[in-house]
Structure 1
Amino acid sequence: MSAIDMRFRDFFHAALGYEPFAYQERLALQPWPELLEVPTGMGKTAAVVLAWLWKRAQGDPDTPRRLVYCLPMRVLVEQTERNMRTWLARLQAQGAVAQGAASLQVLMGGAEDRLHAEWAERPEQDLILLGTQDMLLSRALMRGYGMSRYQWPVHFALLHNDALWVYDEVQLMGSGLPTSAQLEAFRRHLGTAKPSRSLWVSATLNKDWLKTVDSAPWMATAASLQLSQADWANPALQERTAAGKTLLRLAIDPKAYAKELAEHIAARHLAGTTTLVILNTVERAQTLYDALGKRKPKPTAESLLIHARFRPAERGRLNRQLSDPPGEPGRIIVATQAIEAGVDLSSRTLFTELAPWPSLVQRFGRCNRYGEYNPVGGAEIFWFEPPEAKPYEDQALAAARQKLTGLTRASPAQLPATDGATPLHPVIRRKDFLDLFNTDPDLSGFDVDVSPFIRDADDLDVQVFWRALDRHQNQRPDSSGQPRPEPAELCRAGIGQVKKLLERLKREDRTGGVFLFDTLDRRWLPFTDSERLRPGLVLMLDAAVGGYDPSLGFFPGSTAPVEVLPLEGTAPETGYGDDPRSLLSHPVPLAAHLRDVETAARDLCAALEVPEADAVCRAALWHDAGKAHAAFQAMLRDADPSLDPHELWAKAGGRSQRRPGYWVQDAQGQRIERRHFRHELASMLAWLEQHGAEPEADLIAYLIAAHHGKVRLSLRALPDETGPDDGRLYARGVWAGDALPGLDIPGRETLAPVPALRLDLMQLGEGDMGPSWTGRTQRLLKRYGPFRLAWLEMLVRIADWRASRKEQEEGAGAETGS
C-alpha cells in the first residue's frame, strides 16, 4: 500500500510501531508552521520527518523536495541518522515509501561528501540532508567548511532552492540562530528559483530570539504549532511531563573541583542505573573523567566520556556503548553539551553545571525521560556552580540561577517558561551576504571569515588528522605526496586546544609537525602561525607529535604517538589548475561531449521545470569550447599519448596518475607554460566574441565561465601567474591574442573559429568589448539575486557531471562488449 492510499496514522505506525500524538498528526495534515514548540521527549524529530515524507508522497506543493535537517552538534546527528534510516527502512519494507523515493545524506565534519557526491548531482530527487550547523550554515553562506571551495556554489544553490530547513534544538545554536532567521528573510526578499521555507523546533523556544533586522516583519505573524488539549490528555504524555525529579544544589570547592565532584558522583550512583554528568567544556569533562578513573576505590560502574572531539572510530564505539543497557554495576557518563539535547538517553541520577535556562531544561530532560522511575521514587538532579562562566555569559547564568532558587522539582510540567532576553550575537546583513557570492579569495589569499555567524567565538572548531610522516636527514617530517584526509581520520578540535598544541610543540622545539594544504601550490605546507587558525581549516598532524588519546579524544597534552588509521585510498588534493574530470578512463571527443552535456541540461531543466532552460542549454553547449585551446589539447596529449592529434578532445583516457601541465609552442618551437590555465574562461570569451549582442549573452557567458566554480564574479591574473613579455592582458592561463579553432557539433551548431581572444573586460569601465566582467556579473547578481543565479549555475555543472559519467559508463561498456 502506498502512502497515497494510507492515512497518516497508519503511515506513522508503519515507521514507529505506535500511534502518533495529536500534534504529530496535525503537523502532517495542516500547512507547515514556522515554529514547533513541544516539550522534550515528545517525538519532534519523528513528527517533522514523517510529516515531510507524507506530504511529499501526497504531492503537497508547499513541501520542498529537500529536507535540510540542521542540528547544533554531531552527536545529535549520529543518533538522528540511525533513527531516520530505521524509519525509512520500515516504511520501504511495508510499501509505504517506494524504494529510492527519498534518500538520506549526512553532512558533518568527518563525514564529508566527495567530489562526486550523489546528493549534489540529483536535484530533482527527494532528499533528507542531515547535518551539523557548521557544515550546513557554512554552505548556506557560500563558505562550506571542510570542502573544496570550487563546490561552494553547488551546495549553496541546493540549500536555498526547493529546501525545507528544520532547525532543531535551537537553544544550542548560538550565533547560528539569528543567521538562520536572516537567511530565511533573504530568501523571502531576494527570491528563489524554487520555493523554500524554514521551521524552528525546540522544547525551549522563545520567538523573540528569531526577530532580526530583516526577519522581524514576518516573524511577528509566524505560525506556531504547540500541544493541544488532546495532546495533554494523552496518558503517555502525562506520564512523561509529570516524571518525578527531585532537584538539589551541590556545593563544590573550585580548588578541588574534579576530585570533589568525583566523590559526589561515586557516592550517589546506584547500581544497575545510569548516572549522567554534564559539564560545560570539553577540558573539564576530560579532567573529571580522568579523576574518576584515578579515584580509589575505582567505581565498579562502567565510565564513558562523551564529547564531539573524537575520531569516528572511537566515537562509533562510544555510541554503541551508549545504546546498550547498563550492566549490573550501572554506568557513569561524563559528557558535554553534546548530549544535553536530542540524544535518546534517560538517567536515574543527573549532575549538571549551571548553564543558561534553556540548556538546563534540555539537560533535565535526560533524567527520568519517560517516567520509568516514577513507581520507584523518581529520580534526582544535582546542580552546581562551574569554576568559570565560560563558554556562557554571566548574565545568562544569573538568570538561570534565579529560576532555580526555591525550585525543588524538575518535572517538565513544573519548570518555568523560557523567557530570557534575546542573546547578543553578530547578525549578517544583506550587503555582507551578497558579498559572499564572490568565492575568490582576496589579494592576500584569505577569505571572509563567516564563523561569527555560525557558532559562538568560544565554540569554534577546526578538523585535524594524523599521518605517519617520513623524516628527512634533518629530522623534519616530509609531507609531500600525502592524499587528502578520509572521513574516518578527521577529528574536531577547538581552536583554543589547537593553539595549546602548537604552543607545546614550540616549547619542545618540534615545530613543523602541523600542515595546511595550499591549493595553488598543490602541496601541504608547514603551519605554525596560531593567529591564522579559523573554523573550517583542515590540518594534517605528524603522528609523532601526539595530541590524541583514544579514551579522551583530542588532547593537546598527550605526547604519545597517535595510532594512524589505514587509508582506503583517496585522490590527492585538487589545486586551482587541476582538471580531474578531464583525465578519466576513456577519451571523449570535444564535439561529442558538448552535445552530451547540452542533452543532459535539457533533460534536467525539463525535470525541474526551469524557465531559463534555453540559456542553461546554450551555456551547456558552449561550456567546454575553450578546451579547443592549444594549451588544453597539449595537456590531454601529455596525459594520454594515444589520442589522435588531428582530433579535438574533451577527455583523455587512461586516467593519468600524474599532473600534466598546460603549455603552448611559440613560433620558435619553444614550450611556453600556461600555469593555472582555465578552459572555461576561453569558452566564455569565445562565446562573447560570437554572441555578445544577444539578449541573454551575459547570463550565458556567466554560466559558461562558472561551470567549474573557478571563474565567477571577478577576473584577474593569479599572484604566481606569468604572462607575455609584450604587455598583452592575461588571466588564468589565457593570453590576449590566443586563437581557438572552429568546431562542428553535428545536430547542434558550428562554433566558428576565433582568430584572437580579447581580455579587455578584465579592466574596469567600458572597453572595446563593452562593460567589464565585474560590471556584467554585478548586474546579473542584481537582476537574478544570489539564489536564482546560483541555481542556474548549478544546473550547467550538474549536466556536465552527468554527461561525463554517462560517457565513461558507455566507454567501459563498449570496452567490455556489454
Structure 2
Amino acid sequence: MSMGTVGFGEFFEAVTGHQPYVWQSRAAAALVAGVPVGTIAAPTGMGKTSLVLAWVWALARDLDRQAIEGGPRRVALRYVSVIDRRVVVDATADLARGLAEMFTTALASPAAVPEPVVEVARVLNRLAPDAAGPLEVRVLRGGMDSRPEGPRHPAAATVLVGTIDLVGSRLLWRGYGVSRGRRPIDAAMVGADSLIVLDEAHLAAQFHTTLAVLDRQTAAEPGLAGIPARQLVTMTATPEDPADVFDWAAEIERNPAVATRQHHRRAMTVELASSTGKAETAMKDWLKKTALERQCIVCFFNTATAARDAAKILTARKDLDGRAVLLLVGGMPDLARTQAMDALAPYLSGASPQQRATATPVVICATQTLEVGADLDADMLITPIASVAALTQRLGRVNRIGARPDGHILLFAGTDPDPVYSDAHTIAAALTRHHPATAGDLTDQLTALPTTGTGVTAVLPRHVFDAYLATAGSPNEPDVGRWLRTPQDERTQLQVVFRESVRDLTDDQTLCDHLLRWPPRPEEIWTIAGNGQDLVWPSATKTLRAVVIDTADSRPPRVLTHRPHPRPGEVYVLAPAPAEKMGMPGFELVKLSV
C-alpha cells in the first residue's frame, strides 16, 4: 500500500474503528483539494472533534502528491483548534495525542498498526525526521502544570489546541505569558501555514471578526512561496445562517442507523414547569422535594451561585440512597474537575451499557461549562430557560447520540428576568404558548426563534495591528484583549490561587520568596470569568493584599495593595476568604466535587 492509495474512509476506520460521516468525508476532500471548508454545522454527537483526522489525512495525501507532481503545498502544516471551554480543549488534545502515539508506534512497530496509519505516519515523518514524532501536539490553556508553550519544530506537522485568549494573543504578537523575544516566533507558528478551526463560533464573535479582518487585510499581500494561506473553519451545532443546514438525508443514506438515533433523540419527552419568581428558585424547590428516579440527571443553572446552592440542597437530603452529587462550574481547578469527570466516566457516550448499568446513580449541578463539547450522556435534563444557543447545547447532554429510546427534559420558566440571558423571558413565553411535548418539537421551536446578538464587535484597524509588530510594544497601545472578546463578553478569565501564606507571611519579600519556592500548581488554580472578578477582590481596597505572578517570568512576583487591571497569563495569589463572602463556590465547590 502507498499513500496515494489510502482513502480517507480507510484511514478514518483504521483510527476510530468505524466509517466517517458524510460531512467528514466532504471536509477531507475539500482540504486535500485546497478548497475553503467554510462553516461546518454539525449537530451534537456528530463528530466535530474528528475534523483533525480529515486534516491529517489531507496533509499526508498532499505531501505525497507534491513529492510526485511538484508544485506548492495546498494543506496547512499546523491545525490550530480554538475552543472557549477548557474541558473541550482537553478532550480535543486527548484525541490528537492518541493519534500522535499511534503514529509513533507505526514507525517503531509497523505490524502492530493498521497499514493506512503506517503510510500516513511515514509521510508525515519525512517533514521533520528530527522531531519528537510524526505529529506534534501542543496545548495552550490556563491552569496547566507547566507554562503553555507553542509548537517547537517549525517543519513538523502540529496540532495546537487552545483557548481564545492564549491562541488569539499569540496571533496578535502579544502572547499572554510569552516573553518579548518569543513573541514573533509564536505569532508565526500560530498565524502562518495554519488551518484555524474555531469551535462553537457563536461563542467567539469578536475573535471571529478579528480573524476575518486579518485575512482580508493580508489577502492582497504576497504570501510566502510554497506555503498555503491561512484558512479559517468555523464549527457549530447552533448555526445562525439558515443556509448552514446539516445534510441528514446524506448521512442516513450512508448509514441507516443514523435515522434510528435521530428518532430516539427527537422522541425524548419534554415537560415545561411555569412559576412566578425566579426559574432557578423553582428548580431548587423541585430538587428539594421530588424523588429522583433517573440514573444520571444533569441540572443546568445559569449562575454558579445557584448551582452551588442546589448541590448543597441535594447533599442535605437523606433519601438519595447513595446517589452521588457532583458540582461542575467553569474555572474549577484541575484536581476537582478531573475527579468529577472521572466519576462521570460511566455516563459518557463512549461507555458500554454494562458500565452504565452498574454505575452509581448521579445528579450533576452544572453551569455553562458543560454546555459545549462535554461528552456527557445523561438520562434526564433539568434546566431553566436560557438563550436559544444555550438550550440547544444543553439538549445535547441528554441521550447524546440517541443510543437509547428514552430521555426526559424538564424546563423551568419564571416570571423574573434572568440575570444572564436577557431573552430568556421572551423564549419562555414562546415555549409556553406552543408547549412542546417532545425534544423534536422543542428543537424546531428553538430553531424558529431569533437568536440574541453577542454584542457589538470591534474591527481591528490596520495601523494598530502594525503597531503590535513592534516586539517591544508601547505603553500607549491598546490591549489585544479588545480584539479577542467583546466588552459584553464576561468570559475573560482571571487565574486565582488561594494560599494561607498570603495572610501568615507579613513580610512582602518573604512571601514572594516563599511563592517562588512553592509556586502555584494547576490543581489549585481557579479560572474565574469576568462576571465573577468583582467578587474576588475585597470591596475595601485597604484590605487587599495579593501577589501577582507573571507566567512569562518577565518580572519576579510582586505584592499588590491595590486592585489591578488583570491580564491573562498572570496568576493572582490571595488569602482564602469564606465562599459566601466571595459569592463564588470557593473551597466548598472542591469538597462537593470530590
Using the alignment, how far apart are the partners of 2:237 and 2:75 within structure 1?
Answer: 23
Q: Distance in 1 between matches of 2:238 and 2:521?
A: 37
> CA offset at residue 153 of structure 1?
2.4
- Partner in structure 1 of residue 94 of structure 2: 82
8 Å CA contact 1:39–1:204 kept in 2: the answer is yes
Aligned partners of 2:164 and 2:484 also within 8 Å: no
**For 1:273-672, what aligned pairs fall within 5 Å after superposition?**
273-297=295-319, 300-325=322-347, 329-374=360-405, 377-385=406-414, 388-392=417-421, 394-395=422-423, 398=426, 402=430, 405-406=433-434, 407-411=436-440, 415-416=444-445, 417=447, 420=451, 422-431=453-462, 432-440=464-472, 442-443=474-475, 448=479, 450-451=481-482, 453-454=484-485, 456-467=488-499, 469=501, 478-481=510-513, 482-483=515-516, 485-503=520-538, 506=540, 510-515=543-548, 517=550, 522-530=555-563, 532-536=564-568, 538-542=570-574, 545-547=575-577, 556=584
State the shift of 1:82 in Å: 2.3
In structure 2, relative to structure 1, the CA distance for the partners of 1:173 and 1:474 (3 Å cut) is: closer
Please give the alpha-carbon distance, in whole angstroms, between the structure 2 residues aligned to 1:497 and 1:263: 27
Residues 422/519 of structure 1: CA separation in 2 closer, same or farther (3 Å cut): closer
Q: Tell me what 2:70 maps to.
A: none
Following TM superposition, by how much is the alpha carbon of 1:411 offset from its aligned partner in structure 2, in angstroms?
A: 3.0
Matched-pair contact (CA < 8 Å) for 1:245–1:367: no
- Separation of aligned partners in 1, 2:549 and 2:216: 36
The alpha-carbon deviation at position 135 of structure 1 amounts to 1.6
Take 1:479 and 1:26, find their aligned partners in 2: how far apart are those partners? 57
State whether structure 2 residue 57 is matched by structure 1 residue 54.
yes
Amino acid at match of 1:158: M
Q: In structure 2, the residue corresponding to 1:58 is in which secondary structure?
A: helix
Quote the Cα distance in structure 2 between the aligned partners of 1:403 and 1:255: 17
Give the distance between the partners of 2:399 and 2:37, measured in 1 at CA: 30
CA deviations on 1:94-153 (whole Å, 9 max, x unpaired) are: 3514272212111111237649x4x53311110010111222122222332344344332
Within-5 A mapping of 1:176-255: 176-190=207-221, 192-193=223-224, 194=227, 195-207=229-241, 226-227=246-247, 229-233=249-253, 234-242=255-263, 243=265, 244-251=267-274, 254=277
Tell me the residue number matched to 1:717. Answer: none
Once the two structures are superposed, the pairs formed by residues 115-130 of structure 1 within 5 Å of their partners are 117=149, 119-130=150-161
1:196 maps to amino acid: R
Q: What pairs up with 1:38-117 in 2 under 5 angstroms?
A: 38-46=42-50, 48-59=51-62, 61-90=73-102, 92=106, 93-95=113-115, 96=117, 97-98=120-121, 100-111=133-144, 114=147, 117=149
Structure 1: 4+ residue segments shifted above 6 A: 470-473, 518-521
Higher mean Cα deviation, 34-43 or 235-244? 235-244
Instruction: For 1:130 and 1:322, locate their aligned partners in 2 and report how far apart those are by CA, in whole Å.
Output: 24
For structure 2, the 5+ residue unaligned runs are 64-72, 107-112, 126-132, 348-355
SS at match of 1:478: helix
Gap change, CA 1:520 and 1:396, over 3 Å in 2: same
1:678-717 map, 5 Å:
none
Contact 2:177 2:570 in 1 (8 A): yes
- Describe the shift of the 1:421–1:253 C-alpha distance in structure 2 as closer, same or farther (beyond 3 A): closer
1:3 Cα offset (Å): 4.7
Q: Distance in 2 between matches of 1:345 and 1:122?
A: 35
TM-score between the two structures when normalised by the length of structure 1: 0.58
Q: For residue 217 of structure 1, what is the aligned residue in structure 2?
A: none
1:165 aligns with one of 182, 189, 196: 196
Equivalent-residue separation in structure 1 for 2:279 and 2:193 (angstroms)? 54
The alpha carbon displacement at 1:278 in A equals 1.4
What runs of 5+ residues in structure 1 fail to find an aligned partner? Answer: 209-222, 564-818
Q: RMSD of the alignment, in Å?
A: 3.6
What's the offset of the Cα at 1:159? Answer: 1.4
Give the letter aligned to residue 546 of structure 1.
P
Larger relative contact order (CA 8 Å, sep ≥ 6): 2
Relative to structure 1, the CA distance from residue 304 to residue 192 in structure 2 (aligned partners, 3 Å threshold; closer, same or farther) is: farther
Q: Secondary structure at the match of 2:573?
A: strand
Q: Compared with structure 1, are the counterparts of its residues 42 and 382 closer, same or farther at alpha carbon in structure 2 (3 Å cutoff)?
A: same
Could you tell me how far apart the structure 1 residues matched to 2:78 and 2:95 are? 18
Contact 1:66 1:126 in 2 (8 A): yes
The answer to whether the Cα contact below 8 Å between 2:371 and 2:393 also exists between their aligned partners in 1 is yes
CA distance in 2, matches of 1:541, 1:520: 16
- Residues 412, 200 of structure 1: alpha-carbon distance in 2 compared, 3 angstrom cutoff: farther
Separation in 2 of the partners of 1:288 and 1:477? Answer: 42
